[in-house]
Structure formats: structure tokens, C-alpha cells
Amino acid sequence: MVNKKTYYIITFESTYHSIKAENFLKKADINYRMISIPSVITADCGSGIRIDDELERVKDIFAENNIENSAVYQVKKENDSKEYTKL
């Protein structure tokens, strides 16, 4: 049985920015999870945010509230394999 899933990881330059982002996502009732950045992704900050959907809405929230992020990665998971694509 093939198990497929796609989600997004948002990285930040500093912990300050990730915490600021988390606060606005809570207020907007966005489903997210704070995560440690996987070692295959280079990031200035070790923490990031994982979202399963609503990427465009999250980008809008960040733009409206001056939240700076380093990068957004699309993760395609199939069984035990993960493919990371920087968007």
C-alpha cells in the first residue's frame, strides 16, 4: 500500500520570527505545528512551521504582519521516502 502525503515547511532566519509567525497563525486559526528543521534543509534558525494546506493564506498573513521567513519547502512523502522542493 502506497502512503502519499504533501505538506509544507516554512523556515525562518531567527527564533524571534518563528515565534511571531506562530502567534499570528494561532490568531488566524491555522492548523500548524512547530518543528525542528530537518538536517537536509539549510536554515539559519533551527525551528520552523509545518502546515498541511492553506499555504497562500499563510503567505498573506505573513505579508500583512511583516513576518519574514527564509524559505518555504514543499515536502512530498511517499512511504518512507521524502522529497524536499524549495518553492
Tens of pLDDT along 30-50? 999 999 888 888 656 678 999
Interatomic CA distance for residues 57 and 69, integer angstroms: 15
The pLDDT value given to residue 45: 63
Over residues 17-28, the pLDDT tens digits come to 888 999 999 999
Give this prediction's pTM. Answer: 0.86
| Cβ atoms of 86 and 48 closer than 8 Å | no
- Domain CATH for 81: 3.30.70.120
Q: Are 67 and 61 in contact (CB under 8 A)?
A: yes
Residue span of the structural domain in which 8 resides: 4-86
pLDDT at 4: 77
Domain count, the chain: 1
